[in-house]
Structures are given as structure tokens and as C-alpha cells.
Chain A
Amino acid sequence: MSPREITTIDANEAVARIAFKVNEVIAIYPITPSSPMGEWADEWAANREANIWGSVPQVIEMQSEGGAAGAVHGALQAGALTTTFTASQGLMLMIPNMYKIAGELTAAVIHVAARSLAAQGLSIFGDHSDVMATRATGFGLLCSNSVQEAHDLALIAHAAALEARVPFIHFFDGFRTSHEVNKMELLSDADITAMIDGDLVRQHRARALSPDHPVLRGTAQNPDVYFQARETVNPFYAACPAIVQQVMDKFAKIVGRQYKLYEYYGAPDAERVIVMMGSGAEAAQETVDYLNERGEKVGLLKVRLYRPFDIPRFVEALPATTKAIAVLDRTKEPGSAGEPLYVDTITAIYEEWRHGAMPGVVGGRYGLSSKEFTPAMVKAVFDNLQGARPRNHFTVGITDDVSNTSLEVDSEFSIEADDVVRAVFYGLGADGTVGANKNSIKIIGENTNNYAQGYFVYDSKKSGSMTISHLRFGPRPIHAPYLISKANFVACHLPGFLERYDMLKDIVPGGVFLLNLPYPAEEAFARLPRIVQQQIIDKKLRVYTIDAYKVARESGMGGRINTVMQVCFFAISGVLPRDEAIAQIKYSIEKTYGKKGDEIVEMNLKAVDNTIENLFELTIPAQPVSDVPMLPPVPAEAPGFVRDVLGMMIARRGDDLPVSAMPIDGTYPTGTAQWEKRNLAQEIPVWDPQVCIQCGKCALVCPHAVIRIKAYEPAALAGAPETFKAMDAKDTEWHGLKYTIQVAPEDCTGCGICVDICPAKNKSAVNLKAINMRPQPPIREQERDNWNYFLNIPETDRRNIKISTIRQQQVQQPLFEFSGACSGCGETPYIKLITQLFGDRTIVANATGCSSIYGGNLPTTPWAHNNDGRGPAWSNSLFEDNAEFGLGMRIALDKQREYAGELLQRLSAQIGDELVSALLAADQHDEVGIYEQRQRVAALKQKLAGMQSEDGKQLLALADAFVKKDVWIIGGDGWAYDIGFGGLDHVLASGRNVNIIVLDTEVYSNTGGQMSKSTPRGAVAKFAAGGKPLGKKDLGLIAMSYGSVYVARIAMGAKDEQTLRAIIEAEAYDGPSLIIAYSHCIAHGIDMGKAMRNQKAAVETGQWLLYRYNPEREAHGENPLVLDSRPPKLPVKDYMYMENRFRMLTLSKPEVAKQLLEEAQHDVQTRWALYEYLASRDYHKNGSEH
């Protein structure tokens, strides 16, 4: 047999490779961190790759994980070998089907990248909460601890399931394993084929439903027999562990790697043993070796088969000498007797221990949401077992100063070997650092005898995000699933990080520090912050600098410094001989970019050649020479919670926060994003009052709410900074007022969309507008002062703002600001507009997705409040239930208003009839009405303040219910068109007064651009690699079919006044409203700074129709549907080929692209004809045509 291929991949790919080979049907749905498994399967199927039987598996994307589980169940019932991939909430949605699949003894495997469940907050990161929630389903649970294991056990799971007729969840730690790149050996097709027994496959098929041998499966059973029938499966579960072990033994014979169900590692005569599963076991294993080498007697029991739990084998695997056991669970079950593995261990010991006195067993929690689990923590757990009364129900890895559960950990303890290169790279998302590091791992892992590992930590923000790469290279396999804390190489790829993050805290003395600095080498050291200089001197670091931006630019690479920094790493880290490394990089460039064109190869090669001569080692003086301070994470004047808690997270020291610092129920203050000054923009917009026509469009389109407008009394200018700009307000209704457009210089992301939209041109040089991009650093201080001054100018009285025109409406204060959305985001301007109009009286239900991430991801969040303390209250329930979540809010508000009204009437004698009837009959359709009602409520509260009756106290608590409250239900197309459609439909049909806005990016943006039912025909998306063959679902038309729903389709970049009008009408409509908002997206492959042009083109070509459907119009004898679009005046091609998602198909499959383009043009015509007809129907004649 030829040697197996050695490669460096992550576990998602390693698992998908097996799953693809041994299945016929793969039902998928995106969810982090398992999405890449589905994406790989889809891509391989699109490229017509085959499974071991020579056939291409059918890969189908479903509308939810619940749907995927249903499809899996059905495919299994019809006899196909079937699998799926999921995590977290997705796995929760599969549970009902999992009971069925297991109850029917069906062979199948679900691969799970194990992830936290949303509780007090959502987390995309890894632990076993999801898997543990399925342990009653009857599925077997098989755990992998590393990339190689995930590959191997994926196959073992499939083989065992076929034989045992017990379905399996095969799981591995989300991110830590699913996304760790490690050197591993790929199983060959021959290996895989040898492991899958053809007879068992045929038996699986024979059990399938078929009209040729019909049976009935899925009966309803009654008290007489259900119980007995449920017990029939016992023999299968009893036999299952032995079968899994046999399959593992067979695997060992074929492949050479032996796995055990319960695998003991360590001293044969150990007294202290840790029991655990998952990647943490790798860290424990290395620590066990380290401790035993130093005379201790410790061991580790790795649990691979958690269900069915084999008590005899489990106990047998423990050394007879065991005296104390610590069971580590990577999950939390509040209120339980203990976490599940702990409880199972106690049961097992109690039932089966045969070696005299039973060992003591304690349990602890670790590693929730990918919390680090390090050798130091392993040692702390062993140390705990040494005490006379080891602490039970402990935590390790955090400081629990509330329940005092946490073990002390020696942060200096490290077992890293000297011959392992440990490198940490701080990069900017856009600079290609991660890609280059993955490439370095490949070079070393696949072309040398060294082993390589890479793990990448990403930012919680989407724009201007920092990436931290942790790379290890060494002569032995690397079992270190934790971040590098003793780095011997640190690279800083962005100069701005130096003053914000302590990058040298973990570097070892004598280590190497590589800096990308835009200064000559002789100036470089002096430019560093003083603390950094001191660390360099104290730790005797070798420091190298390069102006990577210059080298990249001169090599034609623009801002992508990846290749330059990669060459630097190899040149100075010594991980490979320099010449060999450079030859390898060049070879890899040819291989990676060869297909993308000669010039891309050439510019990369040029960058390689230009790097060495621009790389300099600095001479380090004996003393620090700079006064440059580190920047505080948040300004000193920030509120205490922001400064002490959120500030720690911003500074990347959130791990140091104790339990007591955290809100107990997931409740956080709003208005915190203003304190995180990210200074991302190289250039920011600068206002030119001479040219400005005061249209307000720049502020309207600004995705980050950094452009603000105020119209104010001239007196407010007294004491203004010298450079503060103001002009007379042009609006006739604002005669005598001053007008200022001010930019928040440190919050701007520099997208430039404001400049592109500005319609005013400088009369003498038309390349200048009323707002122009200018370099930020020279004006940062000045504009910071101006911004602060601007904030203190009183807001324009909302009662005096005419909201129906953008020029006035835009002076309203946004209550959604500085979000972490992508620079140039197409969604956030809509949200911001809603908060300007109605934010002070709005509750938001936000579906999971981009908007819940940029809206709710810590540390700081964009939802804000005004000076009265009012603003949107925000929450996120799930992905699938957002419409229902919002409806629940509406019903609660309505009920409270109703009850408050009842109380008011009961107490009318004490309160006074005049106030009572004014409160009950208040017209609150505009700002004046709301203002007056708030005054009445204030008066009511005064009257109620002294009342002692229960009714009085109740009413005081509910008095605010008299002021109008809006419910806004916000989500993307993945929610509205797919996973949440059923609930959305129900809410639309409820007749209740909720406002729903669908931020339609036409793909699942947050998980990386997977197709939804909103994806238009011809677009390339993940799961639609060949271009989506079918048209977009017409959600608006479906909603209109009720006749009682306000429906609008809007596109701000095409017709902003229509957008404004639709949002105002939707809010005013006393019933459900649905707004479908065209939202351009980074996933479209467009110039985000000019994306409003794409919106315009979408409308002008008829791809996106603008309309408003208002059922109230029908009562007046008018057609409820008003088309706000003109007939298509340009071919749809003119729009589609502005965007890479469509254009790339012309380059990959030109014939298909041509066909789909023709069909898309046909769609445009038929859609226009339909809507034109609908909008022209005469409702006047009969009052109604329905």
C-alpha cells in the first residue's frame, strides 16, 4: 500500500472528508462552528467528487436544522446512508428526530462541532453543552480530542453505527478542534472501504421502506405496550460498546492507530486520575507525562464512548491503585447533583469498583465557551486531589469569587518544550495574516519532518478586526490545544496595536519581536510606547522592523502584507534554513496563485524578493527613550461598569474578570459602543459647508452613525472650538438656526459611502463634494474636540422636526451607533433610521445573525439611549423564533396597557376624571402627542406616589404603559425566508401591531454567505456553487395575500424618501407590518463604499421592486398597492454584473451564467407585469375587489 497522504487541515475538513466518502445523502444547514463541514461537502459534490462507491452524494441545504434532521430521518427510512453536520442550537432542533431515529434503530451519524448553548448570552465557541443535552435521545456519543482523532473516529462512528444499529453523534470541540489546523495523516479510500462492511450497508437498505416489501413504522402506541416496546432496544445498546471496540480494533489493524472506548494514559500505579473527554484531554495527557517524569503518580482516563456508557469497561480502565478521581465536565447543569460525566463516574464506581475502598470522586467544570484549559489548570486539578478533602463541584480556569468554586492556578506553570517554535502574530483581518500563517503551516507541516499546529483567534467585531494567530512547530506531534503563553516569537502586523495591546506579556526572555512599522529603522525604536521599550530591554528581546506596507505597495500588493510578513517570519525565526524557506514560499505562491493569473504570482514573488532587503534588526539602547503612553481601553470618564468590566474585555483581559464582575442575568447597559474608540479609519469624511445643500443624505446612509446633524440656536456656538464648523440652516422652517454636520473621527470606519452619496459638488472642482475623505491622524485631536462640543449642543426638539423629509428628519438623534458591522454595511442604516424615528419607545426582538452580532456582541454594543435615558430595549431569543418572540412582547405590552387602563378607571375618583380620560384617549400618532402623554404619565405618577392601595401601587408600576410602545422585529433573510418563516407567517396572520423589518442580504451573511430562499437566480453562494438555479421567493407577495398586512419593499440607495415613508407608514399601521429592505453586503463582492449605486441599479433594472401595500387604502376605495418603482429601464445584466456573486459565474461556468442571466431577465419582466397588474386593479367600483 502506498504511504498515506500527510496534510495540514482542520477537523471540520478532516471529518467532512470521511462523511462525504461514506454517505449518499447529506442534509445541511449553516451554523457556526460546523458550517465548513457542510460547505466542504457541497463543494466536493459541485465538483463531482465521488464517495467510496464511485457516486456523488446528494447534498441538500434545508431551511433549518430541524428540517435537516427531518430530511435525514426520511432519507434513512428510504434506505440511504445519510449524515448531517451541526452544533449548538442546531443540535437542539434535531433532538425530536433523534429520538425517532434512535428508537427505530437506524444506523446514522451526526457530526457535531460541539458548542455552547445560548443561556444568559449566546456563544459561538466550544464546550459540550449541546452534546450533553442529547444524551437521553438514544444516540451513541463518541468524542474526538484532536484533528487526527476526529478524522479517524468519524469513520469508526459510521462503521460502528452500521453494525450496532445505534445512531451516533460524533463530536469534537468547536473551534478548538474544528478550526485548529494540525498535521495529520489522511485515510485512503482503501482504508475507508475496508472499514465499511458491504453486507451491513445492504442490511441497512433492506430495512428501508419500500412498496416492494411494505411495512409500517412510526405507529401510535398506548399504555398497554409503549413501555415494553421501548425496552426492546436494550440488547442493541448492551452490544454496542463491544461493537465499537471491535471496530476500533479493526481500524488499528488496518491503519495502525489503536483507540479504546476508555483509554487510560499515565502511571500504571497512579493514585490520582482525571476523567474527561474532548480536546482538554490532550492538554491533560501532556501534563500527566510532565508530572510523572517529575516523580508524581497521576493518570488520565479519556472517555471516547460516552453513550452507551459501558460501566465495566470504564471501571476496568482505571488503575486499581486509584485513590482519587477528578471528573471534568465541559458543560454546566445548574441545579443538578453534578455534571453528567461526574454523575456517571460515581454511578460506575459505585456499581463496579472491585479493588477495595472506593476512590473518592470529585467533579469540576472547565472550558465553557472555549475558555482556555491549560497544563497549569490540569496541575491545579491534580493538586486539588492531593488534599485530604478535595474540593468538589469546583471550577477551573476562572475566578469564582461569588460561590468560591474555583481552584487556584499557577499562571507561571508551563510545560512547553524548548525545541518547539511558538509564534504569535497580531494581524488585521484584511491584511491576509491568517491566510499566510495557514500557508506557513502547510509549508512546514507538509514539506518537512516537523509537526505544525495553528489556531486563530478572531475579533468580535466585523470591521477592522484583529486576528491573533498561534503557531507551533516542533519535532514531535503537537498535543497543545491551548493558546501560546510562552512565545518565543511575536509579530505585530499593525502599528496601531502597539499602543493598545500588551503583546509582549507572554514573550519569553531572549525572544524575537517583529514589527511592521512605517518608519525608517533608525527611528523605529524611539516611536514605540515606553512600556514596550521597557519590556524589550528587560526581556533582552531581538527586535526586527520592516515597513511592510511600503514593500507590499511597491510590489503591487496594495494593503495585503501577508507575504511580506511571512517572509520576515521565516527569515528570522530560524524554523527553516532561510533559503529553503524562501524557495518553499515561492513554490507555494506558484501553487496557490497560479490559477489566479501570472501577475498575482509575480507580485507575490516580487514581494518575497523585496522583503529581505527591507528587514532590519534594531539596536536596543540600555534605557527607554520614549514618552509615548499606552492608550487606555476606554476613556477615564467612562461609567464604572464600562471602565472596569467592558474595558477589560476591550483590552483583551476579559479572562481576568471574576464571576462577581458579571451581570447575573445577562443584562447589560445600552449606549456602550461610544466608549470604545477604535480609530479604524485611515481617512474620514470632512464637511465643507460652502458646498453643502443640507440634504441629510450623508447622515442617512452612514452605517456607523458617525455623521450627525444638528440645527440649533446660534447661542450654542459660544465657546465653540476654533475649527468647529457651522452655517445658517437653509430650511425655511429653521430660519435663524445654525446647522452643523459633525463626524465622530474615532468611530468612523472610513467606508466613504457618505461621500459617494453626496449630491452636492464643488462648483469649481467637481471631484470635491460637500463631504470629502481626508487623512484621519492629522485631524484626529481637533475633530475629537469638535465632536465632543457637538454632543453638548442641545438636540433639536423632536416636536419641531418634520419627519417626512430626510433633510429635517436626519437631525433626529440615532440610538444605534458605532456598531461592529462591516465597514459600509447595508443593514445598519435602516436600523439606525428606525431608532431615530421611534427609538425612544421601542422594544427590539432581534433574530440571531449579523444584526444580533453587531448589535449584541460584547464588549460594547451599539444600542443607545438619549439624554432622557430613553432608547431601544433590545433582546435576542433564537434564530428560528424571532417573530414569535416579538409577538410575545407585543402581547405583553398590550396586556399591560389594558390592565393599566382598568386600574386607571378603578382609581379615577382619586386621580381625577380629566387626567384619566386624557390618558385613555390620547392621540399619540406623532411626537407632540407622545410628548403630551409623557407629561400626563408624569402627572399620574405624582398622584399615585402617595397611594397605599394595591391598585395604586400596581398602576404606578405600569403607568409608562400609557405611552405608545413599538415592537420592532429585526432579522435577516435566513431568518425570515427560511428558518423563521413558519413563525413569521403566523405573526403576520395574527393581526397584532408589530413592525417587522427583514434586512435582506440574500444570503446567510453572518455564517459566511450560504444560500437562502432569498438568494436571487444566478447568484453564486455557498451551497449554490453553480449559481442558484431557481428564483428568489417573493416574501412580500406572500404577506400581501393576507390583505391585512402592511408590506413594503425598500432600497435606501435607490429612493431614500420612499424608504422613510414606508418605515413611517409601517409604524403607523395598526397591525402587522413587513418591510423588506435591500441590504447590500460584503458577501455580494462589491465596492462597499459605492454600494448605494448597486441598490440604485437593482431598482432601475427591475431586479428589486419598490412598493408599499397598505391595507388601509382599500377602505378608501384605493388600490392598497402603490408601485414606487418605474418600469425597468436597464437590462438586469447591468446590475448583476456589478457584483462578484453574479459575475464570478461567468468566469466559472459561462454557459450556465448566460442561461441564468436570460432567465433572470425573464423574471424581471414577468415580475413587473404581475405587479403592474396588481397595482392597477380598480378598487373604486365595488369598494373592494377581494
Chain B
Amino acid sequence: MTNLKTTYLGMQLRSPLVMSASPLSEHVDNIKRAEDAGIGAVVLYSLFEEQLRMERQALYHYLTHGSESYAEALTYYPQLGEFKTDSSGYLEHIRKAKEAVHIPIIASLNGTTVGNWIKFAKQIESAGADALELNEYSIPTDMNKSGAEIEETVIEVLRAVKSAVSIPVAIKLSPFYSNMAYMAKRLDSVGADGLVLFNRFYQPDIDLETLEVKPSVILSTPQALRLPMRWIAILYGRIKASLAATSGVHTAADVAKMLLVGANVTMMTAALLKNGIDHARVVEEGLRQWMTEHEYESVNQMRGAISQLNTEDPAAFERAQYMKALTHYRPDMS
């Protein structure tokens, strides 16, 4: 029997298949289903501080809008006692998820200020999350801010959160750093327990009929796999932090590739949204089959086998490979 156990963020997981942050985890039933389907850990959907703030402001606006203006209608709503527009709903969800399953629950957080990252991280820890994934989801557009400043902020947030909580902390990054290797090293040195590679952003699209910009959710495709694959291969063995592959993991083959380049875990969303959570069983079965066919006994045995450190051709993961790909490219003449 193949051994799927792996370690991630210092935690023992029964499988390298992890359900990544998505609306699927909004329902405890789904988390339970994921556990039943063999998933090793679940990353909850993100607590977006900005969203909570906007929700509160919208609520405040609409509850007061039009009030105290007209004698017959001084208000338009009943005065309800309490609104859950703070993190309490999210924290409650962590508690319920923890009660429902045995697999680790990793909370995900996106804050706005260092102080608030710390505040929410502590709340999440108290609510019982096994680990925390910092979701560094931002698109810098300020023309007066240098890349160095932005990087410094990310480091600062991680450092602050690490010193505030004792549960493991991973950080999910975008691939858009000048030198991802340097960034990874810095995060590692500040104590990141794991790097989650990479964040995917909603990409705007144009509706040619209405001439409007439409924010579109494009689920990852298997092609998206290549980017994290390269960077995990490069980082494997060079930093202490665990490596999680996310984006484009759809099939057992994808999982196998990621483990071979050095991922501790592989995270899936698109495939589960598309095929249902039970698809995890199919992936797991496929992984086992591949391992059996290729005589791998365990995930640990696979991990990093084709990383840059261990590959026959280390340059293959670097820029030269790109040059080579281009020079060897020939149109299909058939």
C-alpha cells in the first residue's frame, strides 16, 4: 500500500491533497465531505478585512439612508440588536469546522493594516484553527511606491503575525516579484512555515456587446501548473518553509508532478468546483496508481525527486530552458 502521508507547516497530513481557499469551504458540510473524500487538510475561504469594513459601511449607510427626514417615516427598518459584521461569523465557522472534522483546518486571512493582521490572526488562533495562511492578495497600482517598499510590507506583516501567534503560518504569494527566490528566502528567514505558490487574481474582461468591464472568475487550467512547478522546483531544498502548490492542480498527474518537484502539498479548487468534492477520491486513486506503477512507496520518497537540486538538468528550470524551447520550436508541419 502506498503511503500518502506528508508534512505541511509542521503538521502530519494523511494525504498531500489539500482543499484550497474557496467558497466550497463556506459550508461545514462541504468540509466534512472533503474529509470523507480523503482530503488531507482544508484551507478555509479568506476573511477579507476590507470586505467586512465595506459590509459594515453599506449596512450603516442603508440603515440610516432616508431616515429622520420625513415625519411619517422617521426610519425604514426595525432596530435590530446585533449585526455580525465583524469577524465573529468567520471565527464561529472555524469552530464549527473544527468540531465537524479531524483533518487540520487552515484559516486564511487578508488584512489591511499590520495591526489588524495581528488582531485577526490572534482571533483565528483562539478560535482553534490549526494553522493560518496569510493571503497576500493585492495588486499594487500606486505609481509612487517601489517594489522594495511593497516587499518590505509583506515581510513586516509576516514578522508581526509570526510573533503574535504560535500556530504555523503560511503565506500565499503572487508570482509578481522581481526575484521570487530572494523573496522566498526573506520570508523563510522571518519564519514563514510555508509558502503557498501562487495566488491567482480575478482578471477583468471586456464584454464586447455592452462595452463594459466584467470581473471574471476564470478557474485555473492545467496550464497554470507550470508557474508554481518551476518555482517549487527551484526553491525545494533551499528554504526551510513547506511548499504548497496551488493553481492548475486538476489530475493525479498534476499532483505527482508537483510532489516530484518538491511540494509538500498540492491544493485544489477548480477541479473540485467543476467535478464535485468527491473528485478528490479519483485524484487520490490516480496518484496511488501512478505510484504503484512507478514503484514509489511514499509521497516522501517522491518529494523533490525532480527538483532543481536533484534533476539531471538544473538549467531546465531556469531561463535557458525558455531560450531552448524557443529555438527548438518548429511549426507542426503535418
Contacts and interface: CB of A to CB of B under 8 A. Distances in A.
Interface of A: 32-33, 35-36, 39, 42-43, 46-47, 124, 175, 179, 429-430, 432-435, 456, 458-459, 462, 465, 467, 593, 595-597, 599-600, 761, 766, 822, 853, 1005-1009, 1020-1025, 1082-1083, 1085-1086, 1140-1141, 1143-1144, 1147-1148, 1150
Interface stretch (B4-12, B69-77, B223-231): B69-77
A1007 to B, nearest CB: 5
Given A597-B53, A1148-B84, A124 B71 contact: yes
Contact of A429 (B52, B53, B70): B70
B211 A761 contact: yes
B76 A1147 contact: no
B67 A1140 contact: no
Given A429-B69, A458-B71, A596-B56, A1020 B78 contact: yes
Contact of B73 (A43, A47, A467, A1008): A1008
Contact of B211 (A465, A766, A1006): A766
B251 to A, nearest CB: 30
A42 B78 CA distance: 9
Contacts of B329: none
A43 B80 CA distance: 7
Contacts of B71: 32-33, 124, 175, 179, 458
B201 interface: no
Nearest to B80: A1148
10 contacts: A32-B72, A430-B66, A432-B68, A600-B60, A1009-B75, A1021-B78, A1085-B62, A1085-B77, A1147-B83, A1148-B82
Contact of A1025 (B53, B62, B68, B80): B80
B63 interface: yes
Contacts of B55: 1147
User: Which 7 residue pairs spanning A and B have beta carbons closest together?
Assistant: A429-B69, A1008-B73, A1085-B62, A1140-B62, A597-B56, A458-B71, A434-B68
B60 A595 contact: no
B81 interface: yes
A124 B76 contact: no
Nearest to B75: A1008
A1007 B73 contact: yes
Given A599-B57, A1147-B55, 16 more contacts: A43-B78, A43-B80, A456-B68, A462-B70, A596-B59, A597-B60, A597-B85, A597-B86, A822-B66, A1009-B77, A1020-B80, A1021-B78, A1083-B66, A1085-B76, A1148-B82, A1148-B83
A247 to B, nearest CB: 32
A39 B78 CA distance: 7
B214 interface: no
A503 B297 CA distance: 89
B68 A467 contact: yes
Contacts of B212: 766
A853 B71 CA distance: 12
B83 A595 contact: yes
B222 interface: no
B76 A1009 contact: yes
B141 interface: no
B58 interface: yes
Of B67, B69, B85, the most chain A CB neighbours within 10 A belong to B69
Interface in B145-180: none
Contacts of B82: 595, 1148
A508 B66 CA distance: 33
Contacts of A1007: 72-73
| Range of interface residues on B (Cβ < 8 Å) | 35 or more
A600 to B, nearest CB: 6
B23 interface: no
B63 A1082 contact: no
B79 interface: yes
B271 to A, nearest CB: 23
A110 B55 CA distance: 41
Nearest to B83: A1147
Interface in B14-56: 52-53, 55-56
A1022 B62 contact: no
A307 to B, nearest CB: 29
Contacts of B102: none
A47 B81 contact: yes
Given A458-B71, A1022-B77, A1144-B77, A600 B65 contact: no
Contacts of B138: none
B78 A1005 contact: no
B59 A1140 contact: yes
Contacts of A35: 72
Contact of B72 (A43, A822, A1006, A1086): A1006
B78 A1085 contact: no
A104 B231 CA distance: 88
Contact of A1008 (B56, B58, B72, B89): B72
B76 A458 contact: no
A1083 B76 contact: yes
B64 interface: yes
Contacts of A1147: 55, 59, 83-85
A434 B60 CA distance: 17
Contacts of B53: 597, 599
Contact of A1009 (B64, B73, B85, B211): B73
Contact of A1140 (B63, B78, B89, B211): B63
B256 to A, nearest CB: 37
A479 B73 CA distance: 27
Nearest to B27: A1154
Contacts of A1150: 84, 89
A458 B65 contact: no
Nearest to B72: A32
B22 to A, nearest CB: 17
Of B57, B77, B81, the most chain A CB neighbours within 10 A belong to B77
A1021 B211 CA distance: 37
A467 B69 contact: yes
Contacts of B79: 43
Contact of A1082 (B52, B59, B65, B78): B65
A430 B82 CA distance: 24
Contacts of B64: 432, 435
Of B60, B63, B65, B70, the most chain A CB neighbours within 10 A belong to B70
Nearest to A1003: B76
